[in-house]
Amino acid sequence: MAEKITDFDSIAADIFLQKRAGKLSHFAEMIWNFHRDRIDATFEGGWDNAAFPWDRNMHGWWKYPLAFATYSIPSVIMVEEARYAEASICLRKSILLFKDTPIWDEWVKYGHGPDPICCRNIMYKAHLHVMYGLYQLITGSQEFEREYIQLTAIMKNELNENRENEGFEGIVCEDDQYFPVCNSQIVIGMSIHDLIFGTNYYNEYGKRVADFIADRISDPVTKMILYKYHPSHDQAEAYLSGACNTWGLTQLHYTNPADMQTGYENFKRLLVAQQPDGALYLKECVHASDPAMGLEESFGLLYALGLAREYQDPDLWAGFMKYLGKTSGIAYVDGRVRLVEVTNGEEHHANSYILWGALHESWNAVFQHDWSALRARHRAVLS
């Protein structure tokens, strides 16, 4: 039986205090249970499993919710260390699923090449790089280390070539298409690599990418991030996308906190609108008034939950959740957070980002956590 969820202000208060409490809030635990069950079912029964089938019409988008749900796993452990084993196992399964063909085969399908990590395609390989790093950082396991080192080398080589031959810092998603949000994953990934191996890749690569985005692909007045950049013309598209900023302002916050805070305040001023009941929605563009309807922009509302957590803003989090509650029907069903008024494919997609928003404790907190001491306490060997 479904129990409709409406009091998102109280839920937000619990979520923003859960690290201090040392336990997942009720809402966070219920949505974590859904995600863990779904990953288990997919890993054991495939993408078309009976319990939680994924919508194959959306398989070109699967990598994003799977990646962002995975980024919540460090926070699960930081909040409630007793979940170390189940969270680590979920992370391992997620990596194996992320390497499965349906996650990346649109790269081949659309004629970009036979190998999803050899060149370009930072929209896939930067997420994989972060996931490899998180698993080794949290568990100490070297299961994926050879692949991780190979992928790091591929990314470094491409970053060096683009710097030396084309004069930009970063990697394109497709030919001549540089998306700052995808490149923000390089900043996160290189920071994690440094924590594991003691390298200096954040300064050599990650910070340079972040600075390039700040200098060349950001609005100098609002400090918000522009939609994309074309290396062939050395020109960014002067469009302030909600989805781009909810993702980018989250991932780049720790590397440039002052400008990102300015960007965040302008994002709320220019792209967030409030309904009479207090629900908040993301506008399609700065000059629009209606809620975003485009597929990519509608994802921005979901990314914004992690953004609100990164900037410690429970009012923004609760406002967006009120809107999602009205449009998607958020309810507790059999001890799980479910979206009862959307399709299976939409639920899979949205629940991943709600999980990210319910659990994310900020990247700075993740990087400052003593993972070495945690590994020593557990000395877990994961089969």
- Cα Rg, the chain, nearest whole Å: 20
**Coil, strand or helix at 230:** strand
What local confidence, expressed as pLDDT, does residue 383 receive?
41
What local confidence, expressed as pLDDT, does residue 368 receive?
97
Residues 6 or more apart whose CB falls under 8 angstroms from that of 378 comprise: 84, 85
DSSP symbols for 71-135: HTHHHHHHH-GGGHHHHHHHHHHHHHHHTSHHHHTHHHHTTS-S-TTTSS-HHHHHHHHHHHHHH
pLDDT band with cut points at 50, 70 and 90 for residue 381: very low
pLDDT for 94-130, tens place per residue?
A: 999 999 999 999 999 989 999 999 999 999 999 999 9
- What CA–CA distance (Å, rounded) separates 160 from 168? 9
Is the pLDDT at 229 greater than 70? The verdict is: yes
End-to-end CA distance of the chain: 36
pLDDT for 292-339, tens place per residue?
A: 776 666 778 899 999 999 999 999 999 999 999 999 999 999 999 999
pLDDT for 4-43, tens place per residue?
A: 999 999 999 999 999 999 999 999 999 999 999 999 999 9
Decide which of 294 and 220 is more confident. 220
- What CA–CA distance (Å, rounded) separates 215 from 209? 10
Looking at this protein, which amino acid is placed at residue 311? Y
261-298 core/surface letters (b: 16 or more CB in 10 A; e: else)? ebbbebbbebbbbeeeeebbbbbbeeeeeebbeeeebb
pLDDT for 43-86, tens place per residue?
A: 999 999 999 999 888 888 899 999 999 999 999 999 999 999 99
- What CA–CA distance (Å, rounded) separates 55 from 351? 14
What local confidence, expressed as pLDDT, does residue 295 receive?
60
- What CA–CA distance (Å, rounded) separates 63 from 85? 24
pLDDT for 277-286, tens place per residue?
A: 999 999 878 8
Q: What is the pTM of this model?
A: 0.96
